[in-house]
Structure 1
Amino acid sequence: MNHQDNPAPLVLRENAGGLVTLRLNRPLQFNALSEAMLAALQAELDIIAQQPQVRCVVLAAEGKAFCAGHDLREMQATRDLAYYKTLFAQCSRVMRWIQELPVPVIARVHGVATAAGCQLVASCDLAVAGASARFAVSGINVGLFCATPSVALSRNVSAKRAFEMLVTGRFIDASTAADWGLVNTAVPDEALDEQVALLAQSIMDKSPAAVRHGKAMFYRQRQMALADAYAYAGEVMAKNMMEEDADEGITAFLEKRSPNWRA
């Protein structure tokens, strides 16, 4: 889709204090991840990474769906191996960058989240789904195994459940997604915004320094052997203890008062 067809930004940004909400904005295409959409999302994430005042990000979407995955029409228009490698590398960079951001990212999921859209949910640090949301890695239905989505999916749900979704393309509902660990919780559709807001606020009530230390450590240690993970985590925790927020938080606890975080 060109600029004249849709002059509106492909990703909308809303600021509310330390909370940033990014909304995918191709509603007529069920927010399919076109090259331009991926570039727009990457640009917003790059900006957020440089803004220390941001404490939490919510990733949401306009229209009836969260995200239907890659734009198959756009993909089919250029049948070239180099093009596909570049496209999937671009998408993978966005997914990795979500986890590399210094602040937590919450997926607010409504409608369908399929293929790379399901990958997007799995790549977020946290996810809340409306009860009517549905999830699938359905590329297999069109002869395309969802290889890159499988990376994120298999790091959220068990191997057998992930593989079943990948080779059958079948949908799971929001309560199943919560039970399997793809999302944190499923709530009635009318309670979705409230639940996301509560989760975001509970994060923003905590020490910004502790959250930043913790998120970076959490993902890095998961790739390490146990002894290496403990050694690395100990270093991070020691550095965290040297932060002013840790001193303030422990002092406040001992004095039975609320802490006053530095930022």
Structure 2
Amino acid sequence: MTTTEDDVPVGALLRGWRNRARLSQLELALRADSSARHISFIETGRARPSPEMVRRLAEHLDVPVRERNALLLAAGYAPHYPETPLTSPALSPLRAGLERMVAAYEPYPALVVDGTYEVLAANRGIALLLSGVAPELLEPPQNAMRITLHPDGLAPRIRNFAEWRGHLLEQMERQLALVRSAPLRALYEEVSAYPTPPPPPVRDEAPAPPADAGPGCPFALPMVIEYEGRVLSFFSTIATFNTPMDVTVSELAVETFLPASPETAKDLQLLMP
């Protein structure tokens, strides 16, 4: 899915997405109200799919919106999905809604990022965690991956940095398997090459996992970070838009951080009354 060739036939691209989804031609045909014969003809280049068929197949294959435009171009059609700049007046209601959302999540940290992890909105909980980050990393446009993984960013204060770094890099690798994005690839190569800072000195024990999380293993990997002598522990959740019809909107993500311990919840209430 990460090929950069511009002349790959649409049938080959669709076959790649079908294989990735682990669907047979018959299974895809049933979902898309077509026939296995027609799907076969499209994939081998014996039939040219209509724009409607390309969009229908892409929808049933869960192809990202940006790549749906690439499929249409490969089939000889114009892109169907616009890519509206987030600064456009047309997206003003969306921007305002996202800002209200992250503000309402306080005192817990929350932020909005685009497809290359540029920070588009953040609340006071995020600002709290950024204390001590090098000023140059906080200059706009801020990038969440750089801020987190850079040795002058949050990295030295993250207690379980090796595990958290691995989680973030795997997240980026999954994205790169889905979309052909030169900026995202460049960001991945940059942050994966950052030197790993030495672990912070342990002054007290990190919060224990919840009692119902299983023997010795929490139900999700927390980010454990130091802040002014406190140890804060968070579970991260990511939300995206359902059925987006715009490339920009399809790549927006709202990341929120839930306290992973009662102590963290209490500390945040004290730090941000």
Report the TM-score when normalising by structure 1. 0.28
Q: In proportion to residue count, which structure has more helix?
A: 1
Instruction: Choose between structure 1 and 2 for higher RCO, CA contacts under 8 A separated by at least 6 residues.
Output: 2
